[in-house]
Structures are given as C-alpha cells and as structure tokens.
Amino acid sequence: MSNLFHEAGFWFSVSFVLFFVIFGRKVWTPLAALLDSRADRIRADLDEAARLRREAEQMLEDATREREQAMIEARALIEQSRLHAEQLAEKTRQEAEESLRRRERMARDRIEAAERAAISEVRAAAVDAAFDGARDVIQGAVGGNSAEALIDKAIQDLPAALSARAA
C-alpha cells in the first residue's frame, strides 16, 4: 500500500475528490444556474418558435382562404363579364338588323319615289305628245278662224269642267 501513496494518479484522484467536496457546491451552484438559465432561454426560444409557427400556419390558412375567395370572385366576375358581352353582342346584332331594315325601307321608298317620278315624267311626256299630236291634227283639220273659235269655247267651258272634276 505504501506504493499507492507514492503514485501521482492516486494523489490526483484524492485532490480531485477533495476539490469537489470543498468547492463542489460553490462551483456547482453557478454552473447549474448557468445551465438552467441556458435551458430556460432554449425553452423560451422553442416556445417563441412554436408561437411563430402557429401564427404562420394561421396566416397560411388566411391566405389560402383569401385566395379561394378571390378565385370565386374572379370566376363570378368572368361569368358576369361573359353574360354582359353576350347581351351587348345580342343588342348590337338587333340594332344592326334594325338599321338594315330601316335602310332597306328607305331604299325601297326611294325606288318607289323614283318610279313615281319616272311614271309622272312619262305621263307628262305622253300628255305633251298627245297635245302636240292633237294640235297638229286640229290645225290640219280646222282652219285659222275656226281654231280660234274652238279655243275660246274650251276656255269658256274650262270652269265647268274643273268643278265637275273636283266633285
């Protein structure tokens, strides 16, 4: 055993044990406090991380809900715009058809007016030709004095003929 007291490892072990027996509480208390404070800090960081995660998940849910709502509103807006475009196209088509009918009616009215004017011109030309022919026939058949007598008689009979025609 005497050999045991001469070994450095023995004395090192004895000094280590004595050191912890004498100074153990003084060293252990601050060391434990330091470790406890670090554990508390880590726990607080974990709690903060958990809280932030919950907030992030809530924000994600809110964003997802808002995106879905925006998609619904966008679909509704697109549908409303499509219906409005269809109504506008139908209204434009009806207005174009109505305009076409009006123009066709106006063209027909112009054609009828031109026909009436042409018929009136032809009648006037026929009347002029008939008068010219009648004048030529009368001048050839009737002499100078008798022609004047016929004209005077026609002028005298004119008011009676006009009143009979008006009635």
SS3 content of the chain, % helix, strand, coil (to 5): 95, 0, 5
In angstroms and rounded to an integer, the radius of gyration of the C-alpha atoms of the chain is: 63
Q: Assess contact for 77 and 85: CB atoms under 8 A.
A: no
| Half-sphere exposure of residue 64: CA atoms within 13 angstroms, side-chain side | 6
Instruction: Please indicate, yes or no, whether the overall pTM of this predicted structure exceeds 0.75.
Output: no
Q: How many CB atoms lie within 10 A of CB 147?
A: 14
Say yes or no to pLDDT of 167 above 90. Answer: no
Q: Which of 24, 48, 28, 47 is nearest to 36 (CA)?
A: 28
**How many angstroms separate the Cα of 142 from the Cα of each of 7, 8, 23, 128?**
184, 182, 172, 20
> Residue 56 and residue 54: Cα distance in Å, rounded?
5
* 104-148 confidence digits (pLDDT tens): 999 999 999 999 988 888 878 777 777 777 777 766 666 656 667
Q: What per-residue confidence (pLDDT) applies to 1?
A: 53
Mean pLDDT along residues 78-107: 94
Mean pLDDT along residues 66-79: 95
* 3-60 confidence digits (pLDDT tens): 777 788 888 888 888 887 787 778 778 888 899 999 999 999 999 999 999 999 999 9
3-state secondary structure 80-121: HHHHHHHHHHHHHHHHHHHHHHHHHHHHHHHHHHHHHHHHHH
Q: What phi and psi, each to the nearest 5 degrees, are found at residue 25?
A: -65, -40
Q: Which of 155, 19, 14, 141 is nearest to 6 (CA)?
A: 14
60-80 exposure pattern, b = at least 16 Cβ within 10 A, e = fewer: eeeeeeeeeeeeeeeeeeeee
